[in-house]
Amino acid sequence: MLPTTDRDTGGNTGRWTVDRFGGNVAYLTDRGQVAIVTAGVPTSPLAQMEAQTDAAPGPTVAEPWLPVWQLSKPSAWTLQLISTTGTVVRTLTGTSTAAAVRASWDGATTAGGRAPRGSYTWKLTAEPRDHEGPDLLLTGTATVN
């Protein structure tokens, strides 16, 4: 049974908290130990918390594009760079152990050549590692100078 009030004062003293993304509850036992229990409710779907995707002045080997997406929980991700004609010029993949997705693109194509100058659409697909909820799809643009 999870204590909802402090026995001494009758008020909530912050002895428990809910993980709003993971669906667990953590509380302090009478002995001062932290205990974690499943709340019995589904976890929240994967969501973007913040992102830094600026690509100016454009990716190079010396200065790659280093986008970072802070998500609500760990994920397996795929990042596609797509030309204005709809051709996927590069696909990057990874698995995050924490909630941050960190990619690096040096402007090279899958074949190893340099991507032509111009605007590219990036498409990030992230699958929650806990398999709770749908995949997250994010898009934006990056420019190769």
Q: Domain spanning 48-144: which CATH class is it, in words?
A: mainly beta
| pLDDT per residue as tens digits for the range 36-68 | 888 777 788 999 999 999 866 678 778 899 999
Model confidence at 120, in pLDDT bands (50, 70, 90)?
very high
pTM of the entire predicted model: 0.77
DSSP for residue 10:
S
Share of residues in the chain with pLDDT > 70 (%): 87
CB-CB contact of 67 with 41 (8 Å): no
Q: For the chain, which residues make up each domain, given as ranges?
A: 13-42, 48-144
| pLDDT per residue as tens digits for the range 66-87 | 999 999 999 999 999 999 999 9
CB-CB contact of 127 with 75 (8 Å): yes
* pLDDT reported for residue 5: 52
